[in-house]
């Protein structure tokens, strides 16, 4: 039976059991939402053991390089040690999208874990469609779980800003990455 080390506890999973199901069955506090590979809430980082390929098929090359997996997309065949994502990269949800002018929108993103960032620092936002761009933080809640940014659209601007200005909706999922 594969053994999973997660947040200081050990969990025995059945061979080929879904990782998220196996952790939740044993009352582990693993984050999740859609269970379908869409929201990225269940993203964990592998710290020991081999990363199952299908567990990374919906992630960006940068996330793959860092050893992230989606627990809801992972079937367990061998022992793994896992941690929650670091505070440098967290899943979030677009909670506000306000038109300021024809070329500027302000957005708010709520993150599932506190994200230690200050006003003026740059963050990278990654959409479900793998569009990404970096912006300075213009506001941050006291609990570090809501960030604000202002996004300008210009001719020849990034596909991410075009997406925010035309197709993004509140409730859309984003990954928030702290710029190194
Ligand atoms: S729970 Fe949404 S991607 Fe896994």
Tens of pLDDT, residue by residue over 129-145, are 888 888 999 999 887 78
What's the mean pLDDT when you consider all of the chain?
89
93 lines ligand 1 (CB under 6 A): no
State the pLDDT at residue 25: 96
Distances (CA, A) of 19 to 43, 49, 171: 11, 14, 26
Domain finish residue from 83, 115, 144:
83
CA 152 to ligand 1 center in whole angstroms: 30
Q: What total of structural domains would you count in the chain? A: 2
67 lines ligand 1 (CB under 6 A): no
Closest residue by Cα to residue 151 from 128, 123, 177, 171: 123
Same domain, 143 and 108: yes
Same domain, 35 and 67: yes
Q: Name the token pair of 144.
A: 């570090």
**Confidence band for 128, pLDDT divided at 50, 70 and 90:** confident
42 lines ligand 1 (CB under 6 A): yes
Same domain, 56 and 119: no
Same domain, 15 and 55: yes
CA 50 to ligand 1 center in whole angstroms: 20
Encode pLDDT of 46-85 as tens digits.
999 988 888 998 888 878 888 899 999 999 999 999 988 7
24 lines ligand 1 (CB under 6 A): no
**Confidence band for 118, pLDDT divided at 50, 70 and 90:** confident
- 31: CATH: 3.10.20.30
**Confidence band for 87, pLDDT divided at 50, 70 and 90:** low
Encode pLDDT of 150-175 as tens digits.
999 877 778 899 999 999 999 999 99
Same domain, 93 and 174: yes
Same domain, 74 and 112: no
Ligand 1 atom closest to the CA of 38, numbered from 1: 3
pTM of the model: 0.57
Name the residue range of residue 144's domain. 89-178
d(CA 44, CA 122): 23
């Amino acid at each position: 039976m594969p053994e999973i080390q997660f947040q200081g506890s050990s969990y025995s999973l059945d061979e080929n059991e879904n990782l998220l199901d196996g952790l939740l069955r044993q009352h582990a506090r693993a984050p999740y939402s859609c269970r379908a590979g869409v929201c990225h809430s269940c993203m964990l980082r592998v710290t020991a053991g081999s990363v199952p390929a299908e567990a990374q098929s919906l992630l960006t090359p940068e996330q793959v390089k860092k050893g992230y997996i989606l627990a809801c997309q992972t079937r367990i065949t061998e022992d793994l040690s896992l941690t929650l994502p670091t505070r440098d990269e967290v899943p979030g949800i677009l909670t506000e999208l306000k038109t300021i002018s024809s070329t500027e929108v302000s957005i708010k993103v709520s993150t599932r874990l506190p994200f230690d960032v200050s006003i003026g620092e740059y963050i990278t936002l990654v959409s479900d469609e793998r569009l990404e761009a970096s912006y300075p933080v213009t506001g941050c809640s006291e609990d570090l779980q809501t960030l604000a940014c202002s996004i300008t659209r210009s001719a020849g601007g990034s596909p991410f800003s075009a997406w925010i200005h035309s197709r993004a909706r509140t409730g859309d999922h984003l990954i928030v990455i702290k710029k190194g």
